[in-house]
Chain A
Amino acid sequence: MADVEKIYHNLKSRAIGLKSAAELLPNCAPERRGKVISLMRDAAKDIERLLTELEAGPRP
């Protein structure tokens, strides 16, 4: 898989993870809520990083 393809894949994967977690959040047990939000922040940071990489890199 080419580098740019990997970025797209990882971007898709993180975004889907974020969406699934957002759907889960309203019914999440209070003791897990904090952990899920923290992981969602990490995923959001990852998405930010991947987008920067995409901007910097060559177009597919």
Chain B
Amino acid sequence: MTISRRGFLGGMAGAAAALVTRPASAGEHTEASTFAGYPGRFWLLHDTTLCVGCRSCEAACNVVNELPKATAPIGDQAVFAKERRPTATALTVVNRYAVDGKLVYRKQQCMHCNEPSCVSVCLVSALTKSPEGPVVYDPQACMGCRYCMTACPYYALAYEYGSNNPRVMRCTMCYSRIKDGKNPGCADACPTGAIQFGKRSDLLRVARDRFQKHPGKYVEHIFGEHEFGGTSWMLVAGTSFGNLGLGSFANASHTPLPELTKSFLSLVPLVLTLWPGLLVGFYAFTQRKEKLSEEEARARVVEALLKADDETKQKLAAAATKAGKDKEKEIAQAVKKALAEAEKKKEASP
């Protein structure tokens, strides 16, 4: 295939033009930036020192999300015997922990992370982080790969394994209620104020106020402020979070988890653009090597033929000389014989 110079340059210009009209550069953000998140988004503050384990939040959540009522009724203490996790029909659960002889309760659900792992891994963008704060799930986009469930560090996602049209199930932070200006169901139902709903900046101030107003009551750490880039559910507690089942996050990095895949993803364009050059180079070396060895083989054959030619010529010359010499000898003998015969004849006749 031959390409004219004009054709080649024209093609390149066309591609460049297409590039210029491509959207989306990230402005003043660089590789070294941190990201502040959506301004004015909502957070929730869970104060475990105020939680009494009534589980009204669980009941309200099931009502709001039109899920079947929990099998263990409110007030049933047996349900606290084992640590539970959110399931497809219980989007939030309250667990009980024994700390220094006292009973402490903690509500658990999707943390609506600032930089959610689940959102970053969803290959069909079924999970998205809304500007209002909640992570929103679109079952119409979802293809059920369950990568989000694999990625979540809080084990917050559940699945409808019993259905042949299954959805991922998780706390929605009552997204539609929030958009209507209402509070999430659990926040409204909580009788002790252990769940507070509001804007991020307000709630951070509320939490820090509580630390100041009640020195010694709280461990002065807001869980969710920074862990893995921070979450929308923040917790404060009167004991170390390790005692409340969050021990694996004790030294959690402040770096969002999607940062860990970002560096791998950058290999894609690099491999796509470098491998062709590299591999075509190997191919060219191989072709060249083959060509050279073919040429070498051909040269050797020609040389051999030439050598054979020389040798043959020498042999022929030698043979000719020998033949010539032999011939001379033969002639000399014949002449001698003829002369001898002639002599004999002369002597025989008078």
**Do chains A and B stick together as partners?**
no
Residues of chain A whose beta carbon lies under 8 Å from any beta carbon of chain B = none
Residues of B within 8 A of A (CB): none
